[in-house]
Amino acid sequence: MTEMEQYQLLQGKLAILAKIAANTAIQLKFVRRQEIRGLQRLLRERTKLLHSLGMFDERLKGSQALSPRCLALKAQIDGRRQQIIGLNKQTIAAAVEERDKLAAALRGSKKHRTVIANYQYVSLPASGRRFNSKG
């Protein structure tokens, strides 16, 4: 594999990583807004991007030593990967936070329904006939 082919593969890999980073940032927005349908679409797109990233890695696996120009591009790729990892951690933390909020709201709702369902109003007749008429 020539240096030019390696460089083009690394550029393609960097472009895919940029798409994954954008996808992850949008996932964070969807998690906070609790939009499940959009989140599922983004996860399907992310799966496709990760598959194509794996294909780039397979093609680069058998390559020889990288040139200085390719090493600089590889450093950018590593930086982008770290950025994606940070975004993933933020997204997971936001998802856990939203899950806890929903669980607390559900627990509160269940408690309220239990109180209403178990409350029985019993009407007691007043004792005595002329309770307020005589002093």
pLDDT above 80 (res 125) = no
How far apart are alpha carbons 112 and 35 in whole angstroms? 26
What's the pLDDT at 128? 63
Report pLDDT digits (tens) over 37-95. 888 899 999 999 999 999 988 888 877 777 888 889 999 999 999 999 999 999 999 99
Report pLDDT digits (tens) over 100-113. 998 888 888 887 77
CATH of residue 77's domain is: 1.20.58
23 inside domain: yes
| Helix ranges restricted to H, the chain | 3-33, 36-61, 68-118
126 inside domain: no
pLDDT above 70 (res 133) = no
121 inside domain: no
Residue 16 domain boundaries? 3-114
119 inside domain: no
Domain tally for the chain? 1
pTM beyond 0.75 = no
Give the mean model confidence (pLDDT) for residues 7-34. Answer: 92
Q: Are 18 and 80 within 8 A, CB to CB? A: yes
Q: CA nearest 91: which of 30, 5, 18, 12?
A: 30
127 inside domain: no
Neighbours of 30 (CB within 10 A): 20
What's the pLDDT at 61? 84
54 inside domain: yes
47 inside domain: yes
HEC string of 38-76 equals HHHHHHHHHHHHHHHHHHHHHHHHCCCCCCHHHHHHHHH
Give the chain's end-to-end CA distance (angstroms, integer). 110
29 inside domain: yes
